[in-house]
Amino acid sequence: MSSLRLLVAILVLVVPLSLAAAITDALVKPFREVSVSTAVPGVLESLQVREGARVNSGQTLGQLESSSERIEVERLAKILEKRRFDDEGTERLYAEDVVSEDEAIEVRIEREIAEMQLRRAEAELARRTLRAPLSGFIVALDAEAGEWIEPGDVVFEIVDIDQVFAEVLVTPEEARNVKVGTQVEVNFPLLGTAGSRSGRVDFIDPRVDASSGLMTIRVLLANPDHAIRPGYRGTVDLP
């Protein structure tokens, strides 16, 4: 064996396996972020939360002025009450052969129509309530009570950081041995001794950026204590 081959063989044997990992810079991004807007125009009557608040999915965030919609719901509820009473009475009379089947069907259909009209009015009223589509933190409030809001106007911005992504850019060669589901270690210097976290490769972009020649990999990390903040930088030990 030549001296060069002998040297290579020795290096392969003595270099620690940990050095086979690629240390790659990572940038933290939220797991999810959404903008909350309204589907109908109106005056923003009230706000239930402010910036920085922690909210739960389905929680009320704000309310558009909706007095006429509430009155319409109450009116249709009274009509439905009367239609149900008529339907129950007609059913008893039909059972006693006092009224015809056609009359009983007609009354039942009137009750069903009243139920649909009430559900439609309730849905219209619900559209004037702004609710959180996910759990997270309010990071922006783009309107104030008393303002006129048009459909599509963003009122709240919410980020979910119960989990976060550590996003890295790698060469195709570095990505070759990485698979979705691969367990990796991510280190955050800002967190000191508690900065080492275990994560899972959640996404590998199949595209290669033409200008940089790099690919994007996202590592999903549990973040129940919210210690890892979007914008933090760290390193990922890729296989």
Q: Which residues pair with 222 in a beta bridge?
A: 163
User: Which among 127, 149, 180 is the end of a domain?
Assistant: 127
* 7 part of a folded domain: no
Pairing assessment for the beta strands 196-204 and 215-222 based on DSSP bridges: antiparallel
Percent of the chain with pLDDT over 90: 86
- Look over the chain and give the mean of its residue pLDDT values, rounded to a whole number: 91
Structural tokens at position 103: 């009359």
What CATH code is carried by the domain that includes residue 23? 2.40.30.170
Longest Cα–Cα distance of the chain, Å, equals 112
**Using 50, 70 and 90 to split pLDDT, how confident is the model at 177?**
confident
Residue ranges making up the domain that contains 165: 17-36+161-238
* 137 part of a folded domain: no
Same structural domain, 166 and 220 = yes
Is the pLDDT assigned to residue 17 strictly greater than 90?
A: no
Q: What is the pTM of this model?
A: 0.76
128: number of Cβ within 10 Å: 19
* 8 part of a folded domain: no
* 217 part of a folded domain: yes
* 43 part of a folded domain: no
* 105 part of a folded domain: yes
Pairing assessment for the beta strands 60-64 and 196-204 based on DSSP bridges: unpaired
Q: Stretch 16-26: mean pLDDT, rounded? A: 61
- As for how many domains the chain has, the answer is 2
**Using 50, 70 and 90 to split pLDDT, how confident is the model at 15?**
very low
pLDDT at 23: 73
User: Which among 104, 127, 150 is the end of a domain?
Assistant: 127
Same structural domain, 168 and 123 = no
